Structure 1
Amino acid sequence: MTDTNRQPSDRAATYYLGGGCFWCLDAVYRKIRGVVDVVSGYQGGHTPDPHYREICGGHTGHAEVVAVTFDPEVVPSDVILSIFFSMHDPTTLNRQGYDVGTQYRSVMFYTDEEQRRTFQAAIERHQGDWAAPIVTEVSRAPRFYPAEDVHQDFYAKNPGEGYCQVIINPKLSKARQYYAPWLMAAQH
């Protein structure tokens, strides 16, 4: 659980979102009030029960995604999706920074027609934030495969890692700058 002080309402929703390496989105969403769970995993490919090394090879068709479960009575879906569009570059096809391949594509997997419409509306709403066209894929959610334990809450377990310092820390700073009202209080 991410927000241990709240149980999700009956209206809790889960979004499956891929925006490059799942460690980045995982680290940011875990800090957001109303997010009750974040699971890093793989989705959208043709290989059953994929493993990280297979994903890194780019031959499984899967993307690195996070399953973000949140309570819309605490944090609106628009905020969850605004975070998504501001924490990665949705205009680059099959890459995020130094991470290149279909496994790093920008993707939103919907579970029903309402989510599909919500995702499409978010793309339209955020297109004005980018000079280039948004290329985020919107597809029906196939089976989600949770990633290995080492990838769950990676940033909290490895804050001194180079990737965390160089790639994730700037994203967390950006989240603090633009989403401060939605951040959980620091836990001691």
Structure 2
Amino acid sequence: MTVPGVILAGGRATRMGGGDKGLRSVAGRRLLDRVIDRLSPQCAPLAINANGDPSRFAEFGLPVLADSLPDHPGPLAGVLAGLDWSAAIGADAIVTVAADTPFFPEDLVAQLRAAAGPSGLALAASRDGTGKLWQHPTFGLWPVALRNDLRSALEGGLRKIVLWTERHAAGSAEFASDPFDPFFNINTPEDIEIAERLIG
């Protein structure tokens, strides 16, 4: 059974000077190309969550899902847009990944499924060399059954992902950070240089 995948690309990229981070090139390939290549063996079908003119993503040939709530309330609004899309195509869950994270695990979906809590919800996390656990809440398995609860929470002003996921006893899929954190994400031009060294 495959699960639909949603690439969260709705951020404003302020530390990159604005624009779409997913369209930035890293070592000769756009971030979105790298993310799609990594996600497509694990999920089907795929969609992109982004706001504004969807035609800028036309060449990827994927549905572009805009937030259904106004004022860009954050990643959870992208999750909700993905859940609404998933419900419309008859699926019962989605997996989300971030558009600026090109090295996420190739077994992400399998590990999220194995870690799912009683509600079917799971988030990714990685443990660094000191033993500290870092949550990566834009990488998750989200059941469609919770979409109306999520919509109500967002309409009530909730913005922090983990406050909502803790309420629903989300499971945690842990990944090692060896030789580096697979959830390393690109926020600045300096991060592009780091990613190119990792690719090289």
TM (norm. structure 2) is 0.30
TM (norm. structure 1) is 0.31
Structure showing greater relative contact order (alpha-carbon pairs closer than 8 Å, 6 or more residues apart): 1
